[in-house]
Structure 1
Amino acid sequence: MKVLDKTISQLTIPTPFAVGDVHVYLLKGDTLSIIDAGVKTKEGWEALKTQLNELGYTPNDVEQVILTHHHPDHIGLIEAFPRAETMAAHRNADLYLTRDETFFAEYEQFFRQFFVACGVSGELMPGPGELGGTLKFAGTGKLTDTLDEGDRLPGHDDWQVIETKGHAQSHLSFFRESDGALIAGDHLLHHISPNPLLEAPIGSDVRPKPMLQYRNNLKKCQSLDIQMVYPGHGRIFSDVNDVISVSLQKQERRAEKVYTFLQEKAQTPFELCQQLFPKQYENQLNLTMSETIGQLDYLENEGLVTTTLKNGVYVYDVTK
């Protein structure tokens, strides 16, 4: 636990995930808010209670929950605050928080159809419920307030909402202009590049392109006078523009690798995924396919590759 200034403290919650611990933030203002809620495990609950107690609070004192995005390690303990009358996040988070059955059925159908169109082998296709396997670590609830670009956090007028889609279609960051502090969720991390993850479209038939969103929102952050980043994982940092530049360059280098593969021959997304991640694709299909499709979206947006549909499967080739 770290007291960052008189209005904000960082609490660190263990997770069972490879990314390691997750940070949540206690924000004091006109109301007492918690930003993100860790993961739903016994260890997570004990860590949350202990660190709140060190600050002189209990879960009963928290009056509002604000979320950077809907991933399980950020929403696990949203039900742990009985006096919290407000739950605020991007509107796209609500279907995940409420566990909307129709949406989850459509979500699985989207991925099955999309993976088939990407050439994924039948034996690797996710089974029923497999895509939601981490939901046991997530809490359930319903938004009372939705947050949009430019809004002020309720009860904390000095914090402005910045939409930072890419890692998630519900991702928001929160910026305090007076000192350049950014509560960044998983949009900006110092030690790893966040993964722009594929998601099913919400209220549209058009697939989101998270890599393009991620790049655009990194550049948006470059235009802000960010002095300090309070991230969802890893250490607090101030070398913001360096971290953004490195993230953009790493992505571009990986895209160049994909382009080199395509110069050899036209290929499906899954064939490219196998070359990019020969040791990971079988056990981390969604993650590795998200990365592969992200690079293809980038290359296509740059006019470097084209795609055609052959026998129901996408085939990418370099632009002639």
Structure 2
Amino acid sequence: MKRIQLGNTVFEGENDVYLLDGETTALVDTGVALPEVREELVDGLDEYGLAFADVDAVVLTHWHPDHAGLAGEVQAESDADVYVHEADAALVDGSETPLFTDRDLQRETFERWGMPDADRERLTAFFDAVSADLSGRPADVTTFGDGETIRAGGVELEALHLPGHTAGLSGFAFDPRAVPDHEPVAGADATEEAFTGDALLPKYTPNVGGADVRVEGALAAYAESLARIVERDFDAAHPGHRWRIDDPSRRAATILDHHRHRTRRVVGVLDESGPATAWEVSAELFGSLEGIHVLHGPGEAFSHLDHLAAAGVVERDGTDYRLVDPDPDVAALFPTTPLDDLVDGGEDA
């Protein structure tokens, strides 16, 4: 297994593409469809004597352009099978339009969040500036569901549906001992590692709420995904950005606790300021935002407000949220894990 790192100045930093070149050749994710990133992927494959035409399969963790953008181009040159979870398939095969280019969905979403007109225009201008080239050409896809097995690059990959960041985000569990040119992190004791896409990242907490506005109950879904990662207790995780995670259970528990901390902060904002919109809560949590974060900030705030509303802690009136219970048991709103007492998931998680 080889990791090919690609540039990314729009989203969460360097993208990781994983090359599996056993009995066949496969890629896990592809990077964004920008010319300079395409060249980086071409060069990365060339280091191993490979080209797009040699790829037999592309396995996607989710639909976001920085992970799926080049899938169609790889397929066009190789006729590779492109695998994606059924909930994200329409955004990879082009039959559904993403928020980046869907004006009606933008208007509906920004109104729900209480976003001011000037900020809507600013975010729309950002989308117009960057989104046209990001998604690349559509791909013909093969869908999978949770628990299904995909054989790619000579490796058996078990699909783990880990929704939250997107509706169909999936990780892929595998036996590291069966992967050519890969030394298991835990040595001979290793039995299971996973590709985690953006479900688990080593530096940032993956955005929830703004990254895929299709997800109902996004924070609840993501919390359950994190608890599932803790339970599986992988020896290592190979994320969609930056570097390998050598203690994925602890990292997942830390991010889960981070969301408990953030939920308490949202309750505190409403307790101090009175009824507020997702946009206003976002301003208290994150301050002034630029670029893609103009989407991610209020989306994150909305996911927490929505989670609190589902629990009866707040009530929604139009775009405003009013605090009903100023002293909720926040811990009870999230799943528990065996590592909860060992982590501190504060705002820097």
Count of matched residue pairs: 305
Quick check: 2:10–2:292 contact (8 Å CA) kept in 1?
A: no
Q: What does residue 204 of structure 1 align with?
A: none
Of 209, 218, 226, which residue of structure 1 is paired with 2:226?
A: 218
Matched, 1:317 2:323: yes
Of 127, 135, 139, which residue of structure 1 is paired with 2:136?
A: 139
Matched, 1:23 2:16: yes
**Cα distance per residue 1:23-71 (max 9 Å; x no partner):** 0011234531111111223332222222212223222211111111111
Of 233, 252, 255, which residue of structure 1 is paired with 2:263?
A: 255
The ranges of structure 1 where at least 4 consecutive aligned residues each deviate by more than 6 angstroms after the TM superposition are 101-106
Of 242, 251, 271, which residue of structure 2 is paired with 1:243?
A: 251
Three-state SS of the structure 2 residue aligned to 1:125 is helix
Distance 1:105 1:67, change over 3 A: closer
Q: CA RMSD in A?
A: 2.6
Quick check: 1:124–1:282 contact (8 Å CA) kept in 2?
A: no
Q: What does residue 4 of structure 1 align with?
A: none
Q: What one-letter code is carried by the residue in structure 2 that aligns with 1:270?
A: W
Distance 1:33 1:124, change over 3 A: same
**How many Å separate the matches in 2 of 1:28 and 1:283?**
35
Bigger shift: 72-81 or 281-290?
281-290
Bigger shift: 155-164 or 231-240?
155-164
Quick check: 2:99–2:106 contact (8 Å CA) kept in 1?
A: no
**How many Å separate the matches in 2 of 1:258 and 1:68?**
30
Quick check: 1:94–1:142 contact (8 Å CA) kept in 2?
A: no
**How many Å separate the matches in 1 of 2:228 and 2:172?**
13
Q: What one-letter code is carried by the residue in structure 2 that aligns with 1:161?
A: A
Q: What one-letter code is carried by the residue in structure 2 that aligns with 1:80?
A: V
**Cα distance per residue 1:49-102 (max 9 Å; x no partner):** 222122232222111111111111112322035123311101233332243477
Write the mapping of 1:49-64 to structure 2, written as runs, cut at 5 A. 49-64=42-57
Q: What does residue 159 of structure 1 align with?
A: 157
Q: What does residue 90 of structure 1 align with?
A: 85
**How many Å separate the matches in 1 of 2:291 and 2:116?**
10
Distance 1:101 1:25, change over 3 A: closer
Q: What is the CA-CA distance between 1:157 and the residue it aligns to?
A: 5.9
Of 34, 39, 42, which residue of structure 1 is paired with 2:32?
A: 39
Q: What one-letter code is carried by the residue in structure 2 that aligns with 1:195?
A: N
Three-state SS of the structure 1 residue aligned to 2:89 is helix
Q: What is the CA-CA distance between 1:138 and the residue it aligns to?
A: 2.2
Quick check: 1:307–1:314 contact (8 Å CA) kept in 2?
A: yes
Q: What does residue 176 of structure 1 align with?
A: 174
Q: What is the CA-CA distance between 1:12 and the residue it aligns to?
A: 0.9
Q: What one-letter code is carried by the residue in structure 1 that aligns with 2:317?
A: T
Q: Which has the higher contact order (CA 8 A, sep 6+)?
A: 2
Q: What does residue 5 of structure 1 align with?
A: none
Three-state SS of the structure 2 residue aligned to 1:223 is helix
Distance 1:102 1:18, change over 3 A: closer
Quick check: 1:119–1:268 contact (8 Å CA) kept in 2?
A: yes
Q: What does residue 14 of structure 1 align with?
A: 7
Quick check: 2:68–2:135 contact (8 Å CA) kept in 1?
A: yes
Write the mapping of 1:65-144 to structure 2, written as runs, cut at 5 A. 65-78=58-71, 79-81=73-75, 82-100=77-95, 107-126=102-121, 131=127, 133-144=130-141
Percent sequence identity over aligned pairs? 23
Matched, 1:289 2:298: yes
